[in-house]
């Protein structure tokens, strides 16, 4: 997971959101015990709170299509499924809409 996030942010991210996420992903390798894991989760949660609206920004094109502006960072955020309530809420809300066989 760490390598995938670092690949998506690049070596030298230009945006503040990318720089901070890269630092958080690099810190993941230093998580050894419960205290450091808690500190890591707090830093990730703070990052997600700080940049949630930034990552939700959309671009509308002349043909009417709409795409996310920061797709690589959004993809990196999705790689950490249990780190925030946001990811688990969005996943659980789609479970009920799938038909059963």
Domain assignment present for 100: no
How many Cα neighbours within 13 Å face the side chain of 86?
Answer: 18
Give the tens place of pLDDT for each residue, 2-16: 888 888 888 899 999
Domain assignment present for 101: no
Give the tens place of pLDDT for each residue, 23-69: 999 998 899 999 999 999 999 999 999 999 999 999 998 998 998 88
Number of domains in the chain: 1
Tell me the pTM.
0.71
Domain assignment present for 54: yes
Domain assignment present for 27: yes
Measured in degrees and rounded to the nearest 5, phi and psi for residue 68 equal -70, 145
Measured CA to CA, the distance from residue 96 to residue 93 in angstroms comes to 6
28 lies in which domain range?
Answer: 2-95
Domain assignment present for 56: yes
């Amino acid at each position: 997971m760490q390598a995938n996030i670092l690949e998506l942010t690049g070596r030298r991210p230009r945006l503040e959101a990318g720089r901070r996420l890269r630092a958080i992903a690099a810190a993941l390798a230093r998580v050894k015990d419960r205290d450091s894991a808690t500190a890591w989760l707090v830093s990730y949660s703070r990052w997600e709170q700080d940049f949630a609206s930034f990552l939700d920004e959309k671009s509308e094109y002349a043909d009417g299509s709409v795409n996310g502006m920061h797709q690589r960072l959004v993809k990196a955020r999705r790689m950490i499924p249990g780190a925030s309530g946001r990811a688990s809420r969005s996943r659980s809300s789609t479970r009920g809409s799938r038909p059963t066989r």
